[in-house]
Structure 1
């Protein structure tokens, strides 16, 4: 089967456009203990020892997404259990975590992305969440003035342009 050069160019352009619309997330553990970050609906989960970073590329158009740190975890392969933030015993989460959990929430799309920290479902870890073109939001304890404490709080931040996100546990 012969493919025309114009079809190849269109396929290449589509692939480059898809890659260019992803946002880069850097998730770092600065806690003195192991944290097991999880991400839904994309990303799954993994183990992060002190000082380690997990880099994720999350596509444009991802909405109602969450990243959180799980603590007190024990896994055997892909199944186990966590004391906080557990997602049905899975290492790679497809469900949201169980309270308590400090949540980094975001929606990516178009010219503007939106992000926030929520402690509506409880608090389990200190966290910083920032966008390269936005505001750094902080949560150091359960009182967290930068975080949503109830659904009608107005704490969402916006960023645009060349966006890269950073989440740091125990900053």
Structure 2
């Protein structure tokens, strides 16, 4: 009887494990192809650093992250303690952003592992345009977005512009390129 209970419990646990989707962090490779330095920043994961032309910063973002954004800052000067100022996208004078960037900012926005196991992503220039940007999935054949100039057709131009959000299966990795 104990063996039957153990087998029944094992079968139940096994059956339940197949009903859950296992998710992994999404990797965002952020590359600067501009001829000038860009200081990318991200929220809510915090962070920020200088990327010279041709450099890439890889960032792992936890599944379930919502209302996240990555943007580039320009004309920045920081001291050794990480305090300073950026000409565009400044986040309260900090190298490691804990606040969203001040306009104008070209934004890569995303929410990971949402309903139906989908990631949702877009580019927004609602807060203005400061750097050309490309946002694409590195797998799964999902749509790529490009914003080479202000008022680009792939970007949100106003808040209710709902046709610009794209989706991709959760667990996808992404690439953000400044000056694609």
Query: What TM-score does the superposition give when structure 1 sets the normalisation length?
Result: 0.87
Would you say the 8 A contact 2:47–2:96 is kept in 1? Answer: yes
SS for the counterpart of 1:82 is strand
Tell me, yes or no, if structure 1 residue 49 matches structure 2 residue 52: yes
- CA-CA distance at 1:43 after TM superposition: 3.9
- What is the RMSD computed on CA atoms of the aligned residues? 1.3
Q: 2:99 aligns with which of 63, 73, 95?
A: 95
Larger Rg: 2
CA offset digits 1:126-152 (Å, max 9, x no partner): 000011321110000002100001000
Q: Which runs of 5+ in 2 are unaligned?
A: 1-21
Would you say the 8 A contact 1:102–1:121 is kept in 2? Answer: yes
Would you say the 8 A contact 1:106–1:115 is kept in 2? Answer: yes
Equivalent position of 2:40 in the other structure: 37
Q: Which runs of 5+ in 1 are unaligned?
A: 1-18
Equivalent position of 1:82 in the other structure: 86
In 1, Cα distance between equivalents of 2:70 and 2:42: 4
- CA-CA distance at 1:23 after TM superposition: 0.3
- CA-CA distance at 1:108 after TM superposition: 0.5
Equivalent position of 1:141 in the other structure: 149
Q: 1:130 aligns with which of 136, 157, 160?
A: 136
- CA-CA distance at 1:162 after TM superposition: 4.3
